[in-house]
Amino acid sequence: NAGVMQNPRHLVRRRGQEARLRCSPMKGHSHVYWYRQLPEEGLKFMVYLQKENIIDESGMPKERFSAEFPKEGPSILRIQQVVRGDSAAYFCASSPGRSNQPQHFGDGTRLSIL
Amino acid sequence: KNEVEQSPQNLTAQEGEFITINCSYSVGISALHWLQQHPGGGIVSLFMLSSGKKKHGRLIATINIQEKHSSLHITASHPRDSAVYICAVGGGADGLTFGKGTHLIIQP
């Protein structure tokens, strides 16, 4: 039973380019969460999605960031026109959505902006 | 908005010592999580608890709902336990709010 799969593990982009981070949830999980860990800082919630729906995006920066979880395929976190401050580790987690079930985390994508 | 405070921020101990990491939160919750992160690595969920105590191997997690406080204990600590331990609050269907983490180093 595969866990949460994130790819790529490492991503390097130049300022102004686009970054696309992918997350495939665990089998049977319909809820996906994205978190960001800035260097020397704690994890912060970004967005919570279910299939084809954004449930809570209160942690997403207002510009350049978007997320989707289509009916088919992985969840995508997209960052347009990246800047140096976007360098961070981005973690995806999934859960079946029931309140007594924990979230399972992927290994993260380390994004570096040159 | 829940505030999650962890202590200590850094902890260095000798192999075999009993380790305690504390977590306090400001608003009532449905569940509290303890997570482990190795340097440059992924995040592993150790415990999710909403009351009482849970044990897994040498790890024990307790929570006091009235006092809004949880502790993570490691018995007979080992160098491989060296990692960042993170407390987080939130229910299974909600985004989590995290503490800043406790950097634990166990020296042989």
Q: CA distances (Å), A48 to each of A30, A37, A68, A76, A105, in order? A: 11, 16, 10, 12, 13
| Model confidence pLDDT, tens digit, residues A16-64 | 999 999 999 999 898 999 999 998 888 999 999 999 899 999 999 999 9
In angstroms, what separates the C-alpha of B67 from chain A's closest C-alpha? 21
What pLDDT, on the 0 to 100 scale, is given for residue B77?
97
| Model confidence pLDDT, tens digit, residues B39-69 | 878 899 999 998 999 999 999 999 999 999 9
Structure tokens belonging to residue A95: 């859960």
Give the residue carrying structure tokens 């299939």: A51
Q: Is the distance from CB of B85 to CB of B105 less than 8 angstroms?
A: no
CB pair distance less than 8 Å for B98 and A44: yes
Q: CA distances (Å), B85 to each of A28, B18, B72, B93, in order? A: 28, 15, 9, 22
CB pair distance less than 8 Å for A105 and B97: no
Query: Quick one: DSSP state of residue B30?
Result: S
User: Mean pLDDT score of chain B, rounded to an integer?
Assistant: 92
User: In sequence order, what are the beta bridge partners of A88?
Assistant: A111
User: Mean pLDDT score of chain A, rounded to an integer?
Assistant: 93
Q: Is B78 helix (H, G, I), strand (E, B) or coil?
A: coil
Quick check: B92 pLDDT over 60? no
- Enumerate residues 36 to 55 of chain A having a beta carbon within 8 A of any beta carbon in chain B: 41-45, 47-48
pLDDT grade for A97, boundaries at 50, 70 and 90:
confident
Quick check: A1 pLDDT over 60? no
